[in-house]
């Protein structure tokens, strides 16, 4: 099981978005569609899907949050032709953030926010890669210059985690401060992530619209990640927390689907802050 699963919050589009990604990317598919009834947001579609073997979850739970580029996703391909093919499918109805073209770091690269609001950095990478999808965190506004601190913190939280700054902004690259993170890589639970600072004018930052779901093997692990990551008590609800950098996480049991197989368990979970496995079993 993938330890950390990106989770996308949509108004009503979770199923449509998953169907679009399954049709757009190779080796991609929907693995689960279900519904939770009588939540504070009404009846909610829950969808699990894979993009090039990388697991995602999504929910249709109302217009409370809007997906933005603060967390984007690298989609890696071996040839420029593959990049161009995917780009042509993502562009209709989307917003280009960086034009598709050749850059110092890639023969073919482009950054686009698709019609569902999800941001993709489509890139041609030379050589081998273990994962074809990589979440990338962008630290903007008051969080700009915090990327290095954040990735070191995350690496300390997850056993065996590592963090490495690969490129820093240099003098003359204003408004970004000299020495701040142009791109960094960190590995949590064996999964690759990226991070960057951006001092440019952005009207977005991290939100619940894109969260990171941590699958925990037992209550002890839930307690550990909850205790180390949660920094905003008022954000604690139904397994959701927010860390000191504003990134939202969901701390959940690995067997969440099995535990939520009854209406009583669903309703019990909706009343929880931190998820207590035994209480779900007893419901």
pLDDT tens track for 141-167: 999 999 999 999 999 999 999 999 999
Question: In Å, what is the CA distance from 273 to each residue of 59, 173, 266, 270?
Answer: 19, 44, 13, 8
Q: What is the pLDDT of residue 130?
A: 66
Longest Cα–Cα distance in the chain: 61
What's phi and psi for 134, nearest 5 deg?
-135, 120
**Residues 241 and 232 sit within 8 Å (Cβ to Cβ):** yes
Mean pLDDT of the chain: 94
The terminus-to-terminus CA distance of the chain in angstroms comes to 26
CA-nearest of 185, 76, 88, 73 to 124 is 76
Q: What is the pLDDT of residue 36?
A: 81
Kindly state the DSSP code that residue 91 receives in the 8-state scheme: -
pTM for this entry: 0.95
> How many whole angstroms separate alpha carbon 102 and alpha carbon 98?
11
Q: What does the CA dihedral 193, 4, 222, 242 come to, rounded to 10 degrees?
A: 60
Q: What is the pLDDT of residue 258?
A: 84
Q: Where do the domains of the chain lie, and which CATH numbers do they carry?
A: 1-140+200-216 (3.10.180.10), 218-283 (3.10.180.10)
Q: Can you list the residues of the chain whose pLDDT is less than 70?
A: 128, 130
Q: Convert 1-13 to b/e letters by CB count within 10 Å (16 or more is b).
A: ebbbbbbbbbeeb
- Residues 6 or more apart whose CB falls under 8 angstroms from that of 9 comprise 58, 59, 61, 64, 65, 67, 208, 209, 210, 211
């Amino acid at each position: 099981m993938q330890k950390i699963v990106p989770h996308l919050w949509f108004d009503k589009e979770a199923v449509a978005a998953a169907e679009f990604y399954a049709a757009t990317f190779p080796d991609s598919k929907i693995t689960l569609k279900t519904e939770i009834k009588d939540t504070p947001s009404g009846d909610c579609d829950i969808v699990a899907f894979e993009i090039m073997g990388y697991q995602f979850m999504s929910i249709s739970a109302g217009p409370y949050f809007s997906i933005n580029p603060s967390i984007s996703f690298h989609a890696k391909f071996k040839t420029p032709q593959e990049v161009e093919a995917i780009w042509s499918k993502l562009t209709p109805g989307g917003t280009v953030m960086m034009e598709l073209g050749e850059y110092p770091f890639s023969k073919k690269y482009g950054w686009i926010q698709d019609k569902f609001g999800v941001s993709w950095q489509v890139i041609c990478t030379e050589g081998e890669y273990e994962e074809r999808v990589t979440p990338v965190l962008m630290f903007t506004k008051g969080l700009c210059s915090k990327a290095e601190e954040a990735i070191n913190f995350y690496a300390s939280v997850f056993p065996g985690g590592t963090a490495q700054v690969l490129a820093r902004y240099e003098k003359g690259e204003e408004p970004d401060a000299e020495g701040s993170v142009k791109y960094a890589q960190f590995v949590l639970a064996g999964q690759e992530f990226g991070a960057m600072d951006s001092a440019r004018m952005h009207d977005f930052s991290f939100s619940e619209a894109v969260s990171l779901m941590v699958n925990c093997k037992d209550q002890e692990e839930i307690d550990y990640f909850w205790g180390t990551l949660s920094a905003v008590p008022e954000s604690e609800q139904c397994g959701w927390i927010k860390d000191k950098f504003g990134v939202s996480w969901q701390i959940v049991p690995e067997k969440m689907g099995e535990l939520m197989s009854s209406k009583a368990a669903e309703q019990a979970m909706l009343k929880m802050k931190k998820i207590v496995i035994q209480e779900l079993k007893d419901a």
